[in-house]
Structure 1
Amino acid sequence: MFKKIQTSVGDILDFPPDVAGEGPKITITGRLQILVENYVSIVNFSDKEIRLETAEGDVCFAGKGLVLKVLLPTELRIEGEISSLSFEGGEIK
């Protein structure tokens, strides 16, 4: 019930999806740091690839020397040489 009200209020007030919804918010600082908020789980983790499950599908970060510097229930920070970011699955609205 709350989710339906939250979505309706977000639509009415024209909030961006990252404010009104549960989708991921990804902040990239240069090629060395990424902050991801609202992820569901870590699907795969290595020093070359980190794949996260989100409410809108998987998000994959590739690069060299990738490490998880901060790991909290709703956000994490990735550092290393980031070469690509891709989305898989989910539905674009």
Structure 2
Amino acid sequence: MFKKIQTSVGEVLDFPPDVVGEGPKITIIGRREIMVENYISIINFSEEEIRIETAEGDIYFRGKGLMLRVILSSELQIEGELSSFSFGGGEIK
């Protein structure tokens, strides 16, 4: 019931998807800290790559010394030296 109301209000007021809780919200501070909100699951992780599933597809973070610092049900904090990230394989630098 609440999800239905939340979606309807978001559509009526034309809120972006991250505000109504559907799409991921990614905050990158420098090249050392990444916060991801509204993720579904962690698909795999290593010191070189972390792959996260979201409602809008997979997100890949690549770098050196990557580690998951905070893992909550709706939020992740990644630290390490970020070199690139991509959505579903198409790289953004």
TM range (shorter): 0.7 to 0.9
In 2, the alpha carbon distance for the partners of 1:4 and 1:86 equals 31
**Can you give the 5+ residue segments of structure 1 that lack an aligned partner in the other structure?**
none
Q: Does residue 3 of the first structure (1) align with residue 3 of the second (2)?
A: yes
**Can you give the 5+ residue segments of structure 2 that lack an aligned partner in the other structure?**
none
Question: Greater share of helix residues, 1 or 2?
Answer: 1
Find the counterpart in structure 1 of residue 31 from structure 2: 31
Find the counterpart in structure 2 of residue 54 from structure 1: 54
Provide the secondary structure at the position in 1 that maps to 2:18.
Answer: helix
Find the counterpart in structure 1 of residue 80 from structure 2: 80
Find the counterpart in structure 1 of residue 40 from structure 2: 40
Shift of 1:2: 4.2
In the alignment of these two chains, the number of paired residues is 89
Shift of 1:8: 2.2
The amino acid across from 1:76 in the alignment is L
In 1, the alpha carbon distance for the partners of 2:73 and 2:9 equals 26
Report percent identity of matched pairs.
Answer: 73
The amino acid across from 1:28 in the alignment is I
Shift of 1:83: 0.8
> Structure 2 length as normaliser, TM-score?
0.86
Give structure 1 regions of 4+ aligned residues with deviation exceeding 4 angstroms.
Answer: none
Does the 8 Å CA contact 2:21/2:38 hold for their aligned counterparts? no
In 1, the alpha carbon distance for the partners of 2:83 and 2:8 equals 37
Find the counterpart in structure 1 of residue 13 from structure 2: 13
Shift of 1:38: 1.0
